[in-house]
Amino acid sequence: MFHFLKQASLSRGSWFLLLLSCVVFEGAGLYFQHVMKLEPCVMCIYERVAILGIALAAVFAMLAPRLLLVRLLALAIGLFSAVKGLLLALQHTDYQLNPAPWNQCPLMVEFPTTLPLNKWLPQMFEAYGSCSELQWSFLGFAMPQWLIVIFAAYILVLGLVLISQVKPTRSRQRTLFK
Q: Which of 66, 71, 131, 170 is catalytic?
A: 131
Residue 156 has pLDDT above 90, yes or no: yes
- For the question of residue 44 being annotated catalytic, the response is yes
Query: How many Å separate Cα 141 from the centre of its chain?
Result: 19
For residues 135 and 55, the answer to whether their CB atoms sit within 8 Å is: no
Q: Does residue 25 or residue 100 have the better pLDDT?
A: 25
For residue 100, tell me if it sits in a domain: yes
Q: Which of 141, 26, 144, 40 is nearest to 92 (CA)?
A: 144
Q: What angle do CA 147, 118, 76 make, to 5 degrees?
A: 50
- The CATH number that applies at residue 52 is 1.20.1550.10
For residue 175, tell me if it sits in a domain: no
* CA 97/CA 79 separation, integer angstroms: 27
Q: Which of 105, 170, 172, 174 is catalytic?
A: 105
Range of the domain at 115: 14-166
For residue 1, tell me if it sits in a domain: no
- For the question of residue 105 being annotated catalytic, the response is yes
For residues 47 and 105, the answer to whether their CB atoms sit within 8 Å is: no
Per the structure, how many domains does the chain have?
A: 1
> In whole angstroms, how far apart are CA 83 and each of 40, 47, 66, 152?
21, 11, 25, 8
The pLDDT value given to residue 176: 60
The pLDDT value given to residue 80: 95
- How large is the average pLDDT for residues 163-175? 68
- Position 178 confidence tier, pLDDT thresholds 50, 70, 90: low
* CA 126/CA 139 separation, integer angstroms: 28
Average pLDDT, the chain: 84
For residue 2, tell me if it sits in a domain: no
For residue 21, tell me if it sits in a domain: yes
- For the question of residue 22 being annotated catalytic, the response is no
Q: Does residue 53 or residue 170 have the better pLDDT?
A: 53
For residue 77, tell me if it sits in a domain: yes
Q: Which of 48, 170, 172, 174 is catalytic?
A: 48
- pLDDT (tens digit per residue) in 38-91: 888 888 889 999 999 999 999 998 888 888 888 889 999 999 999 999 999 999
Q: Which of 12, 22, 41, 170 is catalytic?
A: 41
- How large is the average pLDDT for residues 93-117? 78
For residue 162, tell me if it sits in a domain: yes
What per-residue string of b and e applies to 144-155 under the rule 16 or more CB within 10 Å gives b? bbbbbebbeebb
- Which of the 8 DSSP states describes residue 126? -
For residue 91, tell me if it sits in a domain: yes
